[in-house]
Chain A
């Protein structure tokens, strides 16, 4: 009985930890900025692919290094996705602040593009994109020094867009013709790629009949570190102070000299970077492929909504709660406990598969929101009605 209980608690927490680490970045971007980032899952996917690349790089270095790649992968995944997030924020999101539903559509577009990018990225594509960016944005940059730039801007775009596109695709086609497979072969392809945990992360810690997988422990640890890190960053650092002040009152902060645009960019990059770390973590448990991110997006949003938007502690409690309940229902461990009551047994048997458990969990979430519409820890004050 005790072992079963321990087992339940551990498994619930470990499922919750995966949910939480995936939801952390979202909680920041969505909770603090009000941006619905449907590309969050794809940022996780980028993190996972980064892990794959780092792993292969370290494999070449030989034994002592190949066992430690995960540490470097975590750092690099954070940096890569943070950079992508920064580009995303500067390029798209910043035009959409205050219109959360439109960020939703825009980021869905981004997620489609990123997915297809992971499938078909090859040297030809990368070179083509580089040439296009060089020509198009280069021309814009050069011409932006002219005093009459505003007037000719539309013309420049109208002329440079087809030219750059043409040159880029022509170069791509030429390269494809000359070097064939070497440049046209996709880097990753549509197939999943393999990320293998280092030896010290395989197997598990045995406690009686209970075995705790090391990867799970690692992820729980990583989640704790991330949560603590975010807490310290937001509460103790000067940038954290600025972020909080911008989120509370944007115009007042701007009046007081806080660079709000920079704060936005940093917040979004931080959220994206956390997605990268989450991607690295889940690559130890699940698949790494173009569809990796899709599997997490709804679950993570539910965590944020149930927890209460803008409250880290809410997300933590919600993730653990959803994880544990999901585990309890889908593993049917509750069935023996309610054995005397026949209808309950039937109910739990019916929902006792992994896919049906999701149905039940959602029903519970709706019911919960009936009682507490604002989540577990609702925000207080008038700003709630924004």
Chain B
């Protein structure tokens, strides 16, 4: 492979290594900053917001993985998010009980704990379910859909319809899942009181760590050959098929991973917001998730995290300042991002922002005669090393 050959050039490898080390360093630094400095800087309420938004950022990473890199727009990630949340919430409901039923069940005439609740007494099972249930569901659904080469818009519409189905299902099963009210009023997790501020801080730290881990996972997935396969699927699936790859397997795997990330995000979000309800399976929420990634920048992992934080903080602040009419701003945000900033904030900074700044400072744009040469790593490498 030509590209591999290029990357083997001496010096290049070291540079790559250096860059990687730098990235690891920066990630750790940011994580430490979040864990140790932020609690001192922010008020308790804002910190709890940040904690929740970081959990959402994990889900955003999942969306970025399938949408930004693989080109499949899922409008049903709320389902996976909620399933992750429910898995943990079911444990949280059962944990303080040891024996007996959650209160809502007896109100709806259920006398015995349903079989699918039983295993959630164990924390290990619940924690595993947070990842496995969404991943499994995504894998099955994905396999059925991708096998038939249903993709693009049709995939989006099907996932959107899936949200309705799960919403109705969880909403309608009052006795099993407490319907619209969802699962709430958590008391203890592994013996620690959930509402306690120290426990909340532990949750926050966990969220940061999970976000870092999710970032590393996505980074690893997208930087290597697997990542190139994903991009190939996004850019021209037919050609990829003609080159002898079967995209179905890749898509199923990516969809499952992304669902698992959403599940983890949902579980952490549930822990910190104190409830999970079918509202998380609402269409609006799933579309909102997509817009975080769009705002931050598609096909940019940093962008996904940044977008999730930015949009949610903006939403939170705007709705405080303008209760009632902030929806106008939200709608406008969708429009602006799609029409003016198609690459998102990070993408804009990466591709155009720097140039814009230069022109503002009076320096003219450098115009390349052959733009493709500018992006060719081989040419870049020669320029750097051979000129002198």
Direct interface between A and B, CB < 8 A? yes
Interface presence of B338 (CB below 8 A): yes
A to B CB contacts below 8 Å, 19 in the list: A30-B153, A92-B339, A104-B153, A105-B294, A105-B337, A108-B334, A109-B332, A110-B331, A112-B328, A113-B327, A116-B325, A116-B328, A298-B160, A298-B283, A301-B161, A369-B145, A369-B150, A373-B148, A373-B150
Q: Which of B51-59, B131-139, B162-170 contacts A (4 or more CB under 8 A)?
A: B162-170
Residues of B within 8 A of A (CB): 73, 75, 144-145, 147-150, 152-154, 156-158, 160-162, 164-165, 168-169, 171-172, 238, 283, 287, 290-291, 294, 324-325, 327-328, 330-335, 337-339, 342
| Complex contact B161–A112 (CB within 8 A) | no
| Complex contact B157–A301 (CB within 8 A) | yes
CB distance from A368 to the nearest CB of B (A): 11
| Complex contact A108–B339 (CB within 8 A) | no
Chain B residues within 8 Å of A108, by CB: 287, 291, 334
Chain A positions 23 through 60: 1 when the CB is less than 8 Å from some CB of chain B, otherwise 0:
00000001000101000000000000000000000000
Q: Max chain B CB contacts within 10 Å: which of A30, A104, A111, A301?
A: A104
A104 to chain B: closest residue by CB:
B156
A370 with B160, Cβ < 8 A, contacts A105-B338, A108-B334 known: no
Interface presence of A362 (CB below 8 A): yes
Chain A positions 178 through 209: 1 when the CB is less than 8 Å from some CB of chain B, otherwise 0:
00000000000000000000000000000000
Chain A residues within 8 Å of B283, by CB: 297-298
Q: How large is the interface on A (under 10, 10 to 19, 20 to 34, 35 or more residues)?
A: 35 or more
Interface presence of A79 (CB below 8 A): no
A106 with B334, Cβ < 8 A, contacts A96-B339, A100-B152, A362-B162 known: yes
A302 with B157, Cβ < 8 A, contacts A113-B327, A116-B328, A353-B172 known: yes
Interface presence of A305 (CB below 8 A): yes
Interface presence of A160 (CB below 8 A): no
CB distance from B159 to the nearest CB of A (A): 11
| Complex contact B172–A113 (CB within 8 A) | no
Chain A positions 97 through 127: 1 when the CB is less than 8 Å from some CB of chain B, otherwise 0:
0001110111011111101110010000000
CB distance from A176 to the nearest CB of B (A): 14
| Complex contact A101–B148 (CB within 8 A) | no
A301 with B160, Cβ < 8 A, contacts A113-B327, A359-B165, A385-B238 known: yes
Q: Is the interface of A mostly helix, strand, loop or mixed?
A: helix
CB distance from B165 to the nearest CB of A (A): 4
Interface presence of A225 (CB below 8 A): no
Chain A residues within 8 Å of B330, by CB: 109, 112
B294 to chain A: closest residue by CB:
A105
A104 with B73, Cβ < 8 A, contacts A359-B168, A373-B149 known: yes
A92 vs B339: C-alpha distance when bound (angstroms): 7
| Complex contact B331–A298 (CB within 8 A) | no
Extra A-B contacts (12), CB below 8 Å, given A104-B153, A113-B332: A92-B335, A96-B339, A109-B331, A109-B332, A110-B334, A116-B327, A120-B324, A302-B161, A356-B168, A362-B162, A366-B145, A373-B150
| Complex contact A305–B154 (CB within 8 A) | yes
| Complex contact B164–A362 (CB within 8 A) | yes
Chain B residues within 8 Å of A36, by CB: 153, 156-157
Residue of B153, B154, B290, B327 near A115 (CB, 8 A) is B327
Interface presence of A249 (CB below 8 A): no
> Within A359-386, which residues are at the interface with B (CB < 8 Å)?
359, 362-363, 365-366, 369-370, 373, 385
> Within A323-380, which residues are at the interface with B (CB < 8 Å)?
353, 355-356, 358-359, 362-363, 365-366, 369-370, 373
CB distance from A40 to the nearest CB of B (A): 12
A366 with B287, Cβ < 8 A, contacts A101-B153, A102-B342, A358-B165 known: no
Chain A positions 212 through 229: 1 when the CB is less than 8 Å from some CB of chain B, otherwise 0:
000000000000000000
| Complex contact A305–B157 (CB within 8 A) | yes
CB distance from A101 to the nearest CB of B (A): 5
| Complex contact A101–B152 (CB within 8 A) | yes
Chain B residues within 8 Å of A358, by CB: 164-165, 168
Residue of B148, B294, B331 near A369 (CB, 8 A) is B148
Chain B residues within 8 Å of A298, by CB: 160-161, 164, 283
Residue of B147, B165, B331 near A113 (CB, 8 A) is B331
